[in-house]
Amino acid sequence: MRAFTAAALQVQPRPDPLTSESVDANVAHCVEWVRSCVAESRADLVVLPETCTTGFSHGLGPDELWDVVAEIPGRPTQPLHEVAHDLGIHLVYGAYERGPQRGIVYNASVMVGPAGSTLGVYRKTHPFCTEIVTNGGWTTPGGDACVVDTALGRIGMIVCFDGDFPELSRILALQGAEVIVRPSALLRSADIWELTNRARAYDNHVYVIGANATGADPAGTLYFGNSMIVTPTAEVVARGSTYEQWVTARLDPGQAMTSLTPGSSVRQGFDHLADRNLALIKNHLDTLSSPGATAFGYRRATGPRHTDERTQ
């Protein structure tokens, strides 16, 4: 990883009913904000929110949503690839992605390189309870972690609710991620948003860039923004408010892990990855692989919520 400037850019989706025309309008809006952000901040990496091309909630079922969105890369999102090329930046955006057959829609995060090419596509592996297709929603879970080699460093991708699951970010860190990007349309509290961003950064000694939606989406759901950039020692070095804006920070690997806590003269001597008790993990692989109990002490009676699309 080299030192670079990162930006978390929070934008508001159009509140209109979701159509192919509104997707085009959302993409154009994102492009306009990306251009302004880079012109003023000189950011090398810009991260947009989850489903910034449509808004998160939209009132459509999986079949109808499949008809509106497209494959990635595809015509509707091409302007985002073109602006990355024009500005010579890395760009991460969130979009619903049309799957291989009607009714399969992924909640994707896309990494675009300075040449405008698609460097990586991550499909959200932990859809939120309201969106997952097996619970009456519209999103089919992905099944793979994603770390992308870029000229800036190794960047891992998660999406919103994924940040509640420490295992995924740990997998990315073990695969060499130095930065984790988290496009989001978080529906809960600002406290949970900050807690999970800081915890995933601290757990894994990585930078976390969280870009959260703001404003209302087509279903009228409101988002609170508060996009942030967190250092590997859990320090929030940039924080947004509740309106459309960007926040930026300089990510420097030479200063990321120098002290125990921000501003301390005590050097950090531990490493959460190297210091793991692997024997303990091996002894409890069955436990880690089990569905587990709920917070109330009983197991789910409905079975697993994540169903592979091949079984549908």
pLDDT of res. 304 = 42
Say whether pTM exceeds 0.85: yes
Please give the pLDDT value at position 295: 55
294/274 Cα distance (integer angstroms)? 30
Domains of the chain from N-terminus onward? 4-256 (3.60.110.10)
Nearest-angstrom CA–CA distance, 218 and 21: 13
Res. 46 pLDDT band, cuts 50 70 90? very high
Question: Which residues are catalytic, by number?
Answer: 50, 124, 160
The pLDDT value recorded for residue 7 is: 98
CA distance 4 to 88: 13
pLDDT tens digits for range 250-297: 999 987 777 777 778 888 888 999 999 999 999 999 998 888 766 555
Q: What is the pLDDT of residues 94-111, one digit of tens each?
A: 999 999 999 999 999 999
Which helix (H) or strand (E) covers residue 41, if one does? helix 20-41
How far apart CA 234 and CA 195 sit, in angstroms, is 9
Helices vs strands, H then E, count in the chain: 7, 14
Q: How far apart are CA 6 and CA 170, in angstroms?
A: 22
DSSP3 helix / strand / coil % (the chain, rounded to 5): 25, 25, 50
What is the reported pLDDT for 301? 40
